[in-house]
Structure 1
Amino acid sequence: MTRVFITGISGQDGSYLADRLVAEGAEVHGLIRGWDDDARALHERHPGIDLHEGDLSDATGLADLVRGLAPSEIYNLAGISSVAQSWREPVLTGQITGVAVTALLDAASRLPGEVRVFQASSSEIFGDPEHAPQDESTPIAPNSPYGVAKAYAHRMAALFRARGLFVATGILYNHESPRRPEAFVTRKITAAAARISLGLQETLELGDLTVERDWGWAPDYVDAMLRATRHDVPGDFVIATGKSHTVADFVAAAFRAAGVADGADRVRVNPEFIRPAEISRMRGDAGRARAELGWAPSVDFDGLVSRMVEHDLSLIREGAGSAG
């Protein structure tokens, strides 16, 4: 039986990964900061998963946990994942999203036997690149505390790989699902579209509508993580759809899915939501992942937006039914 350790197991990607691994029959362990709603929901869905409370900033505790579990696969998906939050808390972001990864890699490198590590990197390591699409050779030039922390972790993964540790990284572009919290703009949009369609909200406030992102379906990206970790050779892999859309495109798709005819009239631009050093355009080239891992996205842009909107509509209707 494969023993797996996942940091960030109760988050969007971690929970989908846990679903996959449990279905495979793996012994799954996960790191959580506390028993919040997401952790409780995961435990209810998969009571056989062992959840360990801990903090990524506790290098000694993390090393002790890894040594005690001696997993054959480690997936590091934890960290501060909001760029906006990284500007509010740059020191904490550096500690959790950057430095803590070194502690995890060091602990993994000291385990007896073979262990494979997946590090969730990010397109934010490229900053605001001059050319699109970006691939694994695109210069690393982050322009946010989150991007800098991810770039540090990405470089450390390469160093430990050079020393013999199997470390695969996924340079993940934006990927969404109904499990994305409303603190993220995509879920904010789909939840608002659902509420507006049912007469529960009048308008939607957003920042820059012209920003372009390469949005994919989160379970597809989890599939890429597994493929990269179990590939013959460790490496860096851009995981992206190769197609970019603006925030305005996302809004339009969400309103269409919700059946809101006057969606454009419902949007208000709030300058307070425009973050410093905003990246204007991102689009990834996943050619290496396609060629070496046999990976390809299965859900297109309209499909993922529709799935998120339908989920939010269901949540509202179920809540109304329970209240009634």
Structure 2
Amino acid sequence: MSKRALITGVTGQDGSYLAEHLISSGYEVWGLVRGQANPRKDRISRLIPELRFIDGDLMDQGSLVSAVDLVQPDEVYNLGAISFVPMSWQQPNLVTEVNGNGVLRMLEAVRMVSGLSGGSARSEAAGRIRFYQASSSEMFGMVAETPQRETTLLHPRSPYGVAKAFGHHITRNYRESYGMYGVSGILFNHESPRRGAEFVPRKISLAVAQIKLGLQDKLSLGNLDAVRDWGFAGDYVRAMHLMLQQEEPGDYVVGTGQMHSVRDAVRLAFEYVGLDWEEHVVIDPALVRPAEVEILCADSSHARTRLGWEPEVDFAELMRMMVESDLAEARLVREHGAALTGARW
């Protein structure tokens, strides 16, 4: 009998890649969606026709219990979140409810369906449903050391990071309090052609494609000196799956260990299409975060040793992949006059 997985946030970048990976591995995969009229559901249905759906909302405890009880999953991947960090200053309460308390509600749903009560001893019931929490490198914030590892002090610099830190700690607490098989993947920045248009690398690749074809002239950005450890989302979902296949649960940092600035991303993207980025990029102070996270770099040696995980796509290939995808869409715009949405998939 094939394993069964339930994914929250299935319509997002990571959810789509994870669903594809699990289905290719023989899983029956269910995606939690909020409202059956969700427009993203239609897109991912076309992309992954084998994917099944169930209604649920990370802000509604009852719907989560019902979803877990109906699906009876072997594995739950909690990827659902408001993932655009700048939005967390604009709507901190909403981001906290979804990214923080939403994790607690999902854990409670797993606990209730599993019939777990207090006590840290592992039980057969505790191991029946394995839980993955999508933690974030944004939790490190004002970094205490570089590179960052599983034991690095957390000092988040945004409401988003604070909410993710709560989700991270409450997952560990349920593991210790109830013997639940719960793990957190502390994933560093990861991108793809499926990334939302609001995220910096995708914003860059979309703009480069349009500028190359004469559909746009300028690209507005904030802090070009911010440094991140960027990888390919398709690589990172393999690590998520591997975490839930281990005999004992634990937390893992996942990243490439290579640092690149926003300026590096801009330069590579424009070079790929033969343009000088300095002729097209303008700095907009309004796009600078109130509290910046300057440097993030992963020490993923634990994941590489314990999980046998390695990234396969490097940064230059990632930017090329994204620009190529957006060039293809931009050509459709030029030829047919369609709107360039950044959501072609």
Per the shorter chain, which TM-score range? over 0.9
AA matched with 2:161: G
Query: Which runs of 5 or more residues in structure 1 are unaligned?
Result: none
Which residue number in structure 1 is paired with residue 294 of structure 2? 280
Quote the residue 2:186 is aligned against.
171
Contact 2:5 2:76 in 1 (8 A): yes
Query: 1:153, 1:85 → 2: CA distance?
Result: 18
Alignment correspondent of 2:121: none
Of residues 107, 132, 143 in structure 1, which corresponds to 2:157? 143
Q: Tell whether 2:82 aligns with 1:90.
A: no
SS in 2 for 1:111: helix
Moved over 4 A (4+): none
Q: Aligned pair 1:44/2:18, yes or no?
A: no
Matched residues in 2 for 1:28 and 1:241: separation?
28
Aligned-partner SS, 2:246: coil
2:11 touches 2:40 (CA, 8 Å); kept in 1?
yes
Shift of 1:106: 1.6
Higher alpha-carbon deviation: 131-140 or 20-29: 20-29
Q: Give the drift of 1:45.
A: 2.5
Q: Distance in 2 between matches of 1:158 and 1:289?
A: 17
How far the C-alpha of 1:37 sits from its partner, in A, is 4.1
Match of 1:308 in 2: 322
Confirm or deny: 8 A CA contact 2:144 2:152 kept in the other structure.
Answer: no
Report the Cα distance in structure 1 between the residues aligned to 2:311 and 2:171, rounded to whole angstroms.
25
d(CA) in 2 for partners of 1:73 and 1:130?
Answer: 33
Larger deviation, residues 111-120 vs 6-15: 111-120
Report the residue type matching 1:202 in the other structure.
Answer: D
Counterpart pick for 2:231 among 213, 216, 226: 216
CA distance in 2 between partners of 1:178 and 1:279 (Å): 24
Residue 196 (1) aligns with residue 178 (2): no
Q: Is the 8 A contact 2:144 2:153 kept in 1?
A: no
Contact 2:92/2:160, CA 8 A, preserved across alignment: yes
Pairwise CA distance, 1:263: 1.4
1:84-120 CA-to-partner distances (Å, cap 9, x unmatched) read: 0111110011100001111111221233441111100
SS at match of 1:83: coil
Q: Percent identity?
A: 44
Q: Distance in 1 between matches of 2:144 and 2:75?
A: 36
Pair 1:102-2:104 in alignment: yes
* C-alpha separation in 2, matches of 1:55 and 1:259: 45
SS in 1 for 2:54: strand
User: Which AA in structure 2 matches 1:274?
Assistant: V
Aligned partner of 2:341 in structure 1 is none
Aligned-partner SS, 1:110: helix
1:152 aligns to 2:155 (yes or no): no
Amino acid at match of 1:235: G
Q: Which amino acid aligns with 1:79?
A: A
Report the alpha carbon displacement of residue 33 of structure 1 after superposing the two structures with TM.
2.1
**CA distance in structure 1 between the partners assigned to 2:274 and 2:144 by the alignment:** 37
Instruction: Tell me how far apart the structure 2 counterparts of residues 129 and 46 of structure 1 sit (CA, whole Å).
Output: 38
Shift of 1:249: 0.5
Q: Quick check: 2:64–2:105 contact (8 Å CA) kept in 1?
A: yes
Tell me the matched-pair count: 323
Cα 1:234–1:42 change in 2 (3 A) is same
TM-score by length of 2: 0.91
Report the aligned-residue RMSD.
1.4
CA distance in 1, matches of 2:174, 2:315: 36
Check whether the contact 2:150–2:253 (CA below 8 A) recurs between aligned residues: yes
1:1-324, aligned counterparts within 5 Å? Answer: 1-34=2-35, 35-112=37-114, 113=125, 114-162=128-176, 163-260=178-275, 262-323=276-337
Match of 2:119 in 1: none
**1:187: how far off?**
0.6
Q: Is the 8 A contact 2:222 2:284 kept in 1?
A: yes
Distance in 2 of aligned mates of 1:317 and 1:201: 13
Query: Match of 1:263, as an amino acid?
Result: W
Deviation per residue, 1:45-86 (Å, 9 max, x gap): 333322123321001111121122211000000011111011
